């Protein structure tokens, strides 16, 4: 029996009513878990997750929705069509055996707790992630570096079994829905075309191959004499994953933030754009504390207006945390400025990659000479002296990020092709060698891939950082050449433009159309590629 459009409208509005309180509870539970790490918070998170997932378990509703989704053209009005698209995808992500869905919730919470509570033990002393990063950035003591690097990887072994089980269960659900595996299903439900993504990744690989090789040779040439070695090992590089460029040019970006109030600088940055973040700051949790998640993220608690948006961070007065603060508050201003008159289901960002684009565009200000001068109040003379080195450092950082994304892109495909693959440790290191030109330590056979938290709790997500970078470069170019005719971050007009053409429309359009509307053209990797050379 066919249902009418007005039945559909009624169904959607009833559904919103049921969804809103459960979504809010789940968001709140996630926040409480991340800020406390207690067993009670974890149980509550699992409970709220199960209840939320229960919203999508009615097979009749799913079948009807799917029917509408497959016949979008008959629906009147783009808003109704878009709501069906969005809601269908949320349903599709949560189809399957209730026991398996519950088990996945449990395992994800378990993995989160393992990462959250993990401390690297070096010479009998426990180190948090901030300390590990600091040591790998600054220490000249090779043995201590190696031990710290190895200790930081032990979380991989602790969580490996959980991650493999998660991947198998995710695959099982995806296959029951007729997909080849969870990876393939995720791309489709994220509205990402696998072929297009493969083309973009292939292009980024070939565009960065030669310049990255040159960059890596330069880094090695600097590090070898520093450490007195013939071969540069992973622990000689910056950070546990070689995520970022080591400061071989002696820029010392951190000195710009010594003794500075990062919250104040964040507020000033967004004030200059005419975007008020005081409300977000007041509900955020920004400093290190026992038991709290060691990462940084932005959380939106429900979608009722006035919006409740919070940031979790573990601030120290350095460049890493300045970047993180600008990044997370970039997510926050997006969430805060979605038009509240949109239907509930569309009151969110267009896509993970559009919100990453804003976050990345803001985070990148941390090594932007103009921003350092005008907002961070860095010393003019020192800046002039290092401005060229800063620019090449920024290019190096982007290039390394690109190469790391390529590792994740290929690794997760291998993981979901076969989660029980006994050779995954080696698959990971093959990719590290291929893309980052970092040799595996002789004889190493550890699940270092599982030390990357995304593999467990934000699966098939990393490409969104890359697409975010591409969109960010394209958007900044558009803003500065068409809207502000100068640095976007000094101009309230840029803030207004973002508000009206990027944040406000929320999920009314998909990410492709959002990019098209805001920049006048479809996604074009050219702007990012140009910024690398």
Residues ≥6 apart with Cβ < 8 Å to 166: 104, 107, 108, 111, 456, 459
- What is the distance between the alpha carbons of residues 182 and 188, in angstroms, rounded to a whole number? 10
CB of 361 to Zn ion, least distance (A): 11
End-to-end CA distance of the chain: 60
Report the residue number, 171 or 402, with the smaller CB distance to Zn ion: 402
CB of 297 to Zn ion, least distance (A): 7
Report the residue number, 174 or 360, with the smaller CB distance to Zn ion: 360
Whether 309 contacts 299, CB under 8 Å = yes
CB of 356 to Zn ion, least distance (A): 5
Q: Are strands 125-127 and 120-122 parallel, antiparallel or unpaired?
A: antiparallel
CB of 462 to Zn ion, least distance (A): 11
CB of 82 to Zn ion, least distance (A): 24
* Pair of tokens at residue 106: 């449990």
Residues ≥6 apart with Cβ < 8 Å to 323: 363, 364, 366
Report the residue number, 159 or 359, with the smaller CB distance to Zn ion: 359
Nearest-5° Cα angle at 360, 160 to 489 = 160
Report the residue number, 107 or 359, with the smaller CB distance to Zn ion: 359
CB of 231 to Zn ion, least distance (A): 34
Total residues interacting with Zn ion, rule: CB under 5 A: 1
Report the residue number, 281 or 360, with the smaller CB distance to Zn ion: 360
Report the residue number, 19 or 475, with the smaller CB distance to Zn ion: 475
CB of 461 to Zn ion, least distance (A): 10
CB of 467 to Zn ion, least distance (A): 12
Show the binding pattern over residues 239-268: x = contacts Zn ion (CB under 5 A), - = does not: ------------------------------
Report the residue number, 359 or 452, with the smaller CB distance to Zn ion: 359
CB of 476 to Zn ion, least distance (A): 16
Show the binding pattern over residues 92-131: x = contacts Zn ion (CB under 5 A), - = does not: ----------------------------------------
Q: Are strands 297-301 and 308-312 parallel, antiparallel or unpaired?
A: antiparallel
What is the phi-psi region of residue 193: left when phi exceeds 0, alpha when psi lies from -120 to 50, beta otherwise? beta
Of 86, 53, 52, 54, the closest CA to residue 68 belongs to 86
Cis peptide before 231 (omega within 30 of 0): no
CB of 67 to Zn ion, least distance (A): 35
Q: Which residues, 466 to 485, sit near Zn ion by CB under 5 A?
A: none
CA dist list (Å): 155 to 81, 162, 201, 220, 452? 44, 12, 29, 28, 9
Closest-by-Cβ residue to Zn ion is 359
Whether 27 contacts 302, CB under 8 Å = yes
Report the residue number, 152 or 472, with the smaller CB distance to Zn ion: 472
Q: Which residues, 291 to 320, sit near Zn ion by CB under 5 A?
A: none
CB of 379 to Zn ion, least distance (A): 30
Report the residue number, 359 or 415, with the smaller CB distance to Zn ion: 359
Residue 308, classed as helix, strand or coil, is strand
Q: Which residues, 349 to 368, sit near Zn ion by CB under 5 A?
A: 359
Residue 97, classed as helix, strand or coil, is coil
Whether 348 contacts 506, CB under 8 Å = yes
Report the residue number, 135 or 325, with the smaller CB distance to Zn ion: 325
- What is the distance between the alpha carbons of residues 412 and 415, in angstroms, rounded to a whole number? 5
* Angle at which helices 511-519 and 463-478 cross, to 10°: 20
* Pair of tokens at residue 385: 């002296």
* Angle at which helices 380-417 and 142-176 cross, to 10°: 50
3-state helix, strand, coil in the chain (%, to 5): 70, 5, 30
Report the residue number, 358 or 424, with the smaller CB distance to Zn ion: 358
CB of 327 to Zn ion, least distance (A): 6
Report the residue number, 369 or 472, with the smaller CB distance to Zn ion: 472
| Residue ranges that bind Zn ion, judged by CB under 5 A | 359
């Amino acid at each position: 029996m066919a249902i009418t459009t007005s039945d559909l409208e009624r169904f959607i509005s009833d559904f919103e009513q049921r969804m809103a309180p459960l979504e809010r509870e789940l968001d709140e539970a996630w926040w409480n878990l991340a800020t406390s790490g207690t067993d009670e918070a974890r149980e509550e998170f699992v409970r709220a997750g199960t209840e939320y997932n229960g919203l999508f378990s009615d097979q009749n509703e799913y079948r009807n929705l799917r029917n509408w989704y497959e016949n979008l053209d008959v629906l009147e009005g783009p808003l109704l069509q878009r709501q069906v698209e969005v809601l269908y995808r949320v349903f599709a992500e949560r189809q399957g055996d209730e026991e398996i869905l519950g088990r996945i919730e449990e395992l994800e919470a378990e993995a989160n707790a393992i990462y959250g509570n993990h401390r690297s033990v070096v010479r009998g002393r426990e180190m948090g992630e901030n300390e590990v990063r600091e040591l790998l950035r600054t220490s000249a003591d090779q043995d201590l570096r190696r031990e710290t690097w190895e200790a930081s990887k032990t979380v991989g072994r602790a969580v490996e079994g959980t991650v493999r089980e998660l991947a198998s269960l995710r695959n099982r659900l995806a296959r029951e829905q007729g997909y080849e595996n969870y990876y393939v299903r995720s791309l489709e439900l994220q509205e990402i075309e696998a072929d297009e993504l493969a083309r973009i990744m292939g292009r980024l690989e070939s565009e960065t191959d030669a310049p990255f090789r040159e960059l890596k040779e330069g880094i090695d040439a600097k590090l070898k004499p520093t450490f007195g070695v013939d071969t540069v090992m992973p622990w000689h590089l910056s950070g546990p994953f070689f995520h970022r460029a080591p400061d071989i040019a002696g820029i010392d970006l951190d000195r710009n933030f010594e003794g500075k109030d990062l919250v104040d600088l964040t507020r000033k940055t967004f004030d200059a754009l005419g975007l008020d973040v005081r409300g977000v700051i007041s509900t955020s949790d920004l400093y290190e504390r026992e038991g709290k998640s060691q990462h940084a993220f932005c959380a939106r608690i429900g979608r009722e207006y006035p919006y409740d948006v919070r940031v979790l961070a573990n601030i120290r007065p350095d460049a890493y945390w300045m970047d993180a603060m600008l990044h997370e508050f970039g997510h926050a201003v997006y969430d805060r400025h979605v038009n509240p008159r949109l239907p509930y289901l569309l009151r969110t960002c267009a896509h993970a990659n559009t919100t990453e684009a804003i976050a990345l565009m803001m985070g990148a200000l941390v090594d932007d000479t103009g921003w350092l001068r005008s907002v961070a109040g860095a010393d003019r003379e020192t800046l002039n002296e290092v401005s060229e080195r800063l620019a090449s450092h920024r290019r190096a950082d982007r290039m390394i990020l690109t190469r790391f994304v390529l590792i994740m892109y290929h690794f997760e495909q291998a993981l979901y092709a076969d989660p029980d693959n006994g050779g995954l440790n080696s698959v990971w290191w093959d990719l590290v060698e291929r893309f980052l030109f970092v040799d595996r330590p002789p004889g190493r056979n550890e699940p270092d891939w599982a030390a990357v938290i995304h593999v467990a709790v934000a699966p098939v997500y990393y490409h969104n950082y890359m697409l975010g970078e591409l969109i960010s470069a394209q958007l900044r170019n558009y803003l500065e050449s068409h809207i502000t005719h100068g640095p976007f971050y000094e101009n309230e007009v840029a803030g207004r433009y973002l508000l009206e053409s990027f944040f406000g429309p929320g999920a009314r359009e998909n990410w492709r159309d959002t990019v098209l509307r805001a920049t006048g053209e479809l996604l074009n990797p050219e702007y990012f590629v140009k910024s690398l050379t």
